[in-house]
Structure 1
């Protein structure tokens, strides 16, 4: 007997500035249960991460990029660079096409993503070809799972859109390949740290993971359970995050440079070259907040050592800045991170969740020594102004691999599910509310129904004098609810049809909706944040039909009774229409909404299968 597993699993973290890849070929190295870091970049780089960047020919901007994946790529009069496009993806397609993070001449954010992912896929395919040599299979025939992390701030529609783009780019294009919009970034970081540094955590410890990256800072609050042979995690509240990250530091400094350049009519495009070069990166890394270095300087491309422009602080071909200017920009982002952490701490106080035992800092911005120093000084057992009962025994950690913990955490989780038959997470906290939209029979005694009538939500049906409140929402899964992977919940419904409708025509549709609000609205409205997803098509022709009771004053009708069932999975929520006893499926195809990210699909939670 042997474990069922794919030939290859690949974890991918597409960041704002850099993309990391980890993998596990289920051969000899799987016995160590350790992911490997991918470094087979086609441009010859040996770095663990490759820049998330593209270059296009200005004369053929709608064509394929002419270069990708290098920090040396830059815009010229003949080419244009596409970078920092991750932030715009969470916006709607019309917003993201002009979001301020990319050149106006570039394709849409969706196209940038597809082009970058296509280049990445081909690079991975060629470089890992030999990993499958022992199986005797071609790449197209091998069983491969691609696991993508997602920011905590992406809603379910953004995740579905990303998964669709990744598939178009080549991932999952073969029948034996799967694309999984996997763990959120802070969840993957939490799994990596607790797998890698297991001895640091005790049973019952509460851990806050702060993943401060280039585009977003995401937080995950978990409790460690070590009663079994491997550590398990329970999420204590939904992952959260905001647009806080390292690129905002770069962007503010770029504006500062551009303002200086404009004073002497030098091209503002030089600002990008100056912040993307090695000099600025070194200053960011070495920043410690001290006053030993009063000024920092950056070479201005194209200027000679003899050129000086005092009005913009350019001396001998270098632009000078006060050290405090960089510190101030850093401090603004650190303060925004602190606001997020304070929010979690306050929630812990309000919900009486006890003490916080560990804070783990990860991500690109989290690798900054200055950020670490400032946050560690602010959040420790002796710090003033913080809830003392929460931080009494807190220990501050920095990830052993802050920039690669996410992609490795994806693979760690997958290996865990293979060998232990379950997810690392014992409970999952839904980030969104999911429900169904329907009409509800009007009841004048209900205040909400009377209010709905004032707003024109009540309609009459052709069948008698019945009045129905339109677009009501039944929330089957609520944001923040703690649930087990595979857990189900259901709502009983009925549909009425005219007596003249033939049995074969007893068909219906149920619209699936979601909301990111803590208290989701009771009605669908295009302005209140409730989002429509796909429609569940139902066939009721096999059900027993009931008629109106003899005492009813309503017109004759026929009614079918059924239920809508929602299954909360590790990666998604699945909706099906069933008979009341659950024995018959009335929907030909389920509606699956990408929701909670785990490196396995709902139909693969029990990974310990016997061959």
Structure 2
């Protein structure tokens, strides 16, 4: 296929998705207008779907799924955090972990359905927003869709499964359209001479050492990989899971010491909602900043405000946490072997770069 009229680069994340657009111009821009956000400018769309119960057809996606009517409805189910489950091993681990069953798909078929439904919405939005900019009809225009994938994904079957899903969703279905699996997420983040790229996402972290070679005649940048790509399931989702476990343990201790007005079977759901709460998410994102406070509180859903348990830090319907309570979760992640290899990888790359320059 000759030079495309439109190139759309898509980074599908655990909690959000990004789209970069190029129409032959030097400047690459974002897709910033999304359904459900009216005239607001957003560089990304939430990776969320909502389904009516007992239905395989989603009622909403992205920002449209975040409205109270969708989130609070008793006859609807919110589906998110499903990106990492396209990996067979990751799905099997989650299915064996009883605490993850609340968010874990029941099968790979369900994972693929979630992917396909989300990408169908995404494809339709891209078409609606961009087809007016093309000289040709959308079906006839030469378009490339480039997807980045985690380095943790095996080419077979995970990457092949991903490619099959996006094609079923509509990407590349027309003769002049092409869906391409491009760089891994670590490679896609690179823009320096010799560097260790650390792409920390919602569900995965990718490490890669690259060297930027001279640009070719067309101005394109050539990258040379200097070290083996490292990938791991390290990200903010693991922090959320650790906080959910912390909240659940404290709720159980509170339940043992006196009646809270919550059923034992509710505690897992309550802890999960606390991990998804804006209070905790803000505390997580602000951790390490100069302006953070020593404590933060998170509302305990469905708990009466009159209930008090000072031992577990519960008052007025909220549970109190020290910032250091979440520090341990960060420490566990950064001490993982993949991060310990970072300095070693960068040292090796420097030595290789010196040999190349000579």
TM-fit CA distance, 1:305: 4.8
TM-fit CA distance, 1:310: 3.7
For 2:59, the equivalent position in structure 1 comes to 66
**Deviation string for 1:507-560 (max 9, x for gaps)?**
xxxxxxxxxxxxxxxxxxxxxxxxxxxxxxxxxxxxxxxxxxxxxxxxxxxxxx
Gaps spanning 5+ residues in structure 1: where?
195-204, 358-611
Structure 2 residue 238 is matched with structure 1 residue 248? yes
Describe the SS at the equivalent of 2:114: helix
TM-fit CA distance, 1:352: 8.1
For 2:300, the equivalent position in structure 1 comes to 300
**Contact 2:227–2:349 (CA under 8 A) maintained in structure 1:** no
The separation in 1 between residues aligned to 2:90 and 2:233, in whole angstroms, is: 18
TM-fit CA distance, 1:38: 0.7
For 2:223, the equivalent position in structure 1 comes to 233
For 1:175, the equivalent position in structure 2 comes to 175
The separation in 1 between residues aligned to 2:10 and 2:162, in whole angstroms, is: 13
For 2:112, the equivalent position in structure 1 comes to 110
For 1:151, the equivalent position in structure 2 comes to 150
TM-fit CA distance, 1:47: 2.1
For 1:324, the equivalent position in structure 2 comes to 324
Q: Answer with 157-166 or 296-305: which moved more.
A: 296-305
Structure 2 vs 1, CA of residues 286 and 334 (structure 1 numbering), >3 Å: closer, same or farther? same
**Contact 1:80–1:103 (CA under 8 A) maintained in structure 2:** no
TM-fit CA distance, 1:153: 1.1
For 2:51, the equivalent position in structure 1 comes to 56
TM-fit CA distance, 1:36: 0.6
Q: 1:39 is matched with which residue: 25, 32, 39?
A: 32
For 2:13, the equivalent position in structure 1 comes to 15
Q: Which structure has the bigger radius of gyration?
A: 1
TM-fit CA distance, 1:97: 9.2
**Contact 1:8–1:143 (CA under 8 A) maintained in structure 2:** yes
What TM-score comes out, normalization by structure 2 length?
0.82
For 1:365, the equivalent position in structure 2 comes to none
TM-fit CA distance, 1:78: 1.8
Q: Tell me: higher relative CO, structure 1 or 2? Use CA pairs within 8 A at least 6 residues apart.
A: 1
TM-fit CA distance, 1:58: 1.6
Q: 1:127 is matched with which residue: 129, 148, 151?
A: 129
TM-fit CA distance, 1:252: 1.0
TM-fit CA distance, 1:348: 6.2
TM-fit CA distance, 1:315: 0.8
The separation in 1 between residues aligned to 2:28 and 2:291, in whole angstroms, is: 42
TM-fit CA distance, 1:87: 1.4
For 2:75, the equivalent position in structure 1 comes to 78
**Contact 1:206–1:355 (CA under 8 A) maintained in structure 2:** no
**Contact 1:82–1:103 (CA under 8 A) maintained in structure 2:** no
Structure 2 vs 1, CA of residues 156 and 327 (structure 1 numbering), >3 Å: closer, same or farther? same
Gaps spanning 5+ residues in structure 2: where?
none
Q: How many residues align?
A: 330
TM-fit CA distance, 1:54: 1.1
TM-fit CA distance, 1:25: 2.0
The separation in 1 between residues aligned to 2:344 and 2:223, in whole angstroms, is: 21
TM-fit CA distance, 1:304: 5.9
**Contact 1:93–1:110 (CA under 8 A) maintained in structure 2:** no
For 1:354, the equivalent position in structure 2 comes to 351
Structure 2 vs 1, CA of residues 260 and 145 (structure 1 numbering), >3 Å: closer, same or farther? same
Describe the SS at the equivalent of 1:54: strand
**Contact 1:16–1:85 (CA under 8 A) maintained in structure 2:** yes
Task: Report which of the two has the higher share of helix.
Answer: 2
**Contact 1:53–1:69 (CA under 8 A) maintained in structure 2:** yes
The separation in 1 between residues aligned to 2:184 and 2:227, in whole angstroms, is: 14
For 2:200, the equivalent position in structure 1 comes to 212
TM-fit CA distance, 1:184: 0.4
Structure 2 vs 1, CA of residues 217 and 352 (structure 1 numbering), >3 Å: closer, same or farther? closer
Structure 2 vs 1, CA of residues 122 and 227 (structure 1 numbering), >3 Å: closer, same or farther? closer
Structure 2 vs 1, CA of residues 96 and 67 (structure 1 numbering), >3 Å: closer, same or farther? farther
Task: Report which of the two has the higher share of strand.
Answer: 1
TM-fit CA distance, 1:96: 8.4
